[in-house]
Structure formats: C-alpha cells, structure tokens
Amino acid sequence: MSDEKKLFKVTIDNITVEVQPGTTILNAARQIGGDIVPPAMCYYTSLKGSGGKCRTCLVKVAAGSAADPRPMPKLVASCRTNVMDGMVVENITNPSVLEARKGVVELLLINHPLDCPICDQAGECHLQDLSYEHGVESTRYEFNRRTFDKHDLGPYIQLHMTRCILCYRCVYVADQISNKRVHGVLDRGDHSEIATYIKQSLDNDFIGNVIDVCPVGALTDRTFRFKNRVWFTKPVDAHRDCPTCKGKVTLWLRGDEVLRSTARKDQWGEVSEWICNTCRFEKKKTSDWIIEGPTVVNRQSVIGQGHYVNITKPRETISDVMGGRPPKLLMDIHNVSGVNNVDLSEIPGPASGKTFEEDPHAFATNPTDRKKPELNSNHELE
C-alpha cells in the first residue's frame, strides 16, 4: 500500500527490528522479545500518560537516528522515548545501563518492607522479579524504613502503602478506567503516599482493576487475603455473561474452589481486558463460570515454577548478545540456590533446618548457617 507509513529500523542490543513510527523503544524491544526487553515497573500500555517514573527501563541511545547519529547524552526512559529511523539502542549490552538499573533497584528497595513472606503478591510480584534479576544480594541502607499504617479502601481493596513504589498506575486506572477517582498521591517526595484524601472507600464498578495493575503488593484483594500462596493455586481461563464487562477472567482455583478472580494478563503482565468488580469479587463459585482451560503462564515470578500446563518459557536472547551468558530467571531459583537439591516431596512433614543439614550442597551458599549445631538438637525435640 502506498499510503502506508515507512517503517523505522531500530537496533536494540545488536538485534534490528522494523517498527511503526511512533513506537517507543520499550515496545520495539518487546517486539524483539526475550532478555533485551527493559523491565517496566510503571509503564502500562493501556494507561495514557503512564511511564517515565520508575526509571527501571533506562537504556542508552548510542545513535539517535540515521540522520543524526549522535548519542543521547543521558540514559533515557525507553517507555517514553520514541524510536527514530536508524536508532541504535543499548540495553543489556551496556554496562552503564545495567549499573544505573542496579542503582534504581537498590533505591526502590531501601524503603520497601521486604515482607514477601506475608505478602499476597509474592510469587507474582514484579518487584521480586526485578530485584532478583537486576538487584544485588544485600542492601547498604542502614536506617529505619518508611512506614505507614495499612488501610482498607472499602470492602474489597487493601492498601499497604509501605510496599508501594509510586508507579501511579492505580491513579491512572481510577482516572481512565473507572468513572470516578477518589484516591491519588498526597504529599511529595519520599513522604508521598497513595491515599484517599479523607478516609473513603474506593467504590465503583471498575476500581478493582487497580489491584491488577499494581506491580507490587500495595493494593491487594481483600477477598483473597491470606487465602493461599499464588503458586499453590491453579489458574484457568474462564468467562461468564456479564452485563458490565466482557466477563473474561482468570480464575485461581484450589481443587474446585475459586480463590480469586483476576483480569487476564499478557506476557508483559498487563491486563488485556478490564473486568468489573462483580466478576472480580462476587463470583466465587465455579458454577458462575464457563471454564475454558488452563491459563498460559508466562514469565511471572515463581508461579512459573508450578507445574502448569502449557507453560511457555521465555525465548531468551541473552546468550546471543552476551556471549553465551545464561539468563537469571526467578523461576529457575531452585536450580540456582541449591536448596532444592533435596526433594521436598520425599520428606514426611514439613522440612526443617535438619533436612538441609544432611544435604552437603544445601548450604553451600551460606556457610554461616553451618555453624549452628544447636539447631539440630532443637529440631530433635520438635
């Protein structure tokens, strides 16, 4: 077709792709896929104005365009920078990008409570993924972390402000998806918080979607609270005839029990179709739904570790561009940590320190734990 716009050629980590003009670097990278895709904690394709805030998607533009091949002086947010024809971008091939990203991850974590063991989001948390893939093992932060009280924003949603990374996604959802926004960011700087101005509930048909867009466990579903760890639940695609939304959801089952219902997410963890509160919070019986089949679980934290049907492991480009270095994936944690050199299913009852003590590899990465013989005797008593 003659009126079709000329495609732009952009090279990201030595891989060239042709994209429509107006595409962001991030989306061009997503078209390539694999490891060269910068992590995005605040950008959300369907939310206008999102992105640019978390700074995890920073990349180096080594050449601005074919017409003007000068590099850009600073790292740019790939989610908010459009490609130009002939642009050359460096992500994982540029050490300064990785260093800056490591810095961002460290800064995102200094005030994070790291309460994953009691957080409902654990297992599908983007901050967990990000920290594991791009962060360092320990923190240099030696001060008290910022704290807030947790709030119930109405009967369905709970806010743990301590976990929030201020990505503003929930604010955009309330603005653009639901018909009324009663919450937003109060105050500024490191003391800013997501809140309703006067304690008020978030209440309208589509507000439940804030839970799905929240990359961390700051906004969680009260109807699912502490019910189960996500990796023990089984996701299936289901639909129902809903007068408010399209009624296409993912149900998270245990046996025949519906523990939770969420919108369906694509491979980047983004909701493809918003669902209404009724589908999300009210319909908790399998008889409410027509079940289509198992959900395809993508690279989503440790829930990928569950033995799901149809799991698609991501196509990794990292070994191509990094001279053979394999990717670090949280879903492969068991291969890395050595903890699971023990087959847990073989042990009667819960595993204890003793279980691992007997395994020569188990504590290979943490020698200090070996110096605790009293642990043994304690366990003997249990």
Partner 1 sequence: MGRKILIDKVHIEGIRFFDTYRKNGGYASLEKALKISPAEVVEEVKKSGLRGRGGAGFPTGLKWSFLAKPEGIQRYLVVNADESEPGTFKDRYLMEFIPHLLIEGMIVSSYALGANTAYIYIRGEYAWIIDILQKAIDEAKEQSFLGKNILGSGYDCEIFIHRGAGAYICGEETALLESLEGKRGNPRIKPPFPAVKGLWDCPTVVNNVETIAAVVPIINEGGDEYALIGIGKSTGTKLISACGNIKKPGVYEIDMTISVEEFIYSDEYCGGIPNGRRLKACIPGGSSVPILPANLLLKTAKGETRLMNYESLADGGFQSGSMMGSGGFIVLDEDQCIVRHTYTLARFYRHESCGQCSPCREGTGWMEKILLNIERGKGKMSDIDLLWDIQSKIEGNTICPLGDAAAWPVAAAIRHFRDEFEWHVQNPEECLRRNYGLAGYAEPLEAVIS
- List interacting residues with ligand SF4 (CB under 6 A): 164-170, 194, 213-216, 218-219
Q: How far is the CB of 97 from ligand FES (least distance, A)?
A: 13
CA-to-CA distance for 263 and 271, rounded, in angstroms? 6
| 111 touches, from ligand FES, partner 1, ligand SF4, none (C-beta below 5 to 8 Å by class) | partner 1
**How many residues of this chain bind partner 1 (CB under 8 A)?**
33
| 192 touches, from partner 1, ligand SF4, ligand FES, none (C-beta below 5 to 8 Å by class) | partner 1
Residue 53 binds to partner 1 (criterion: CB under 8 A) = yes
Instruction: Collect all residues with Cβ–Cβ distance below 8 Å to 81 and sequence separation of at least 6.
Output: 24, 25, 61
Choose between 43 and 281: whose C-beta lies nearer to ligand SF4.
43
Q: How far is the CB of 56 from ligand FES (least distance, A)?
A: 6
Q: How far is the CB of 59 from ligand SF4 (least distance, A)?
A: 18
CA-to-CA distance for 330 and 273, rounded, in angstroms? 27
Residue 104 binds to partner 1 (criterion: CB under 8 A) = yes
Residue 25 binds to partner 1 (criterion: CB under 8 A) = no
CA-to-CA distance for 304 and 5, rounded, in angstroms? 39
Residue 217 binds to partner 1 (criterion: CB under 8 A) = no
CA-to-CA distance for 42 and 39, rounded, in angstroms? 9
Q: Are strands 257-263 and 157-159 parallel, antiparallel or unpaired?
A: unpaired
Residue 81 identity (one-letter amino acid): T
CA dihedral 217, 220, 223, 224 (to 10 degrees): -20
Instruction: Collect all residues with Cβ–Cβ distance below 8 Å to 67 and sequence separation of at least 6.
Output: 84, 85, 86
Q: How far is the CB of 380 from ligand SF4 (least distance, A)?
A: 45
Residues of the shown chain interacting with partner 1 in the complex, contacts defined by CB under 8 A: 51-56, 58, 74-75, 77, 80, 100, 103-104, 106-108, 110-111, 140-141, 143, 165-166, 168, 184-185, 187-192
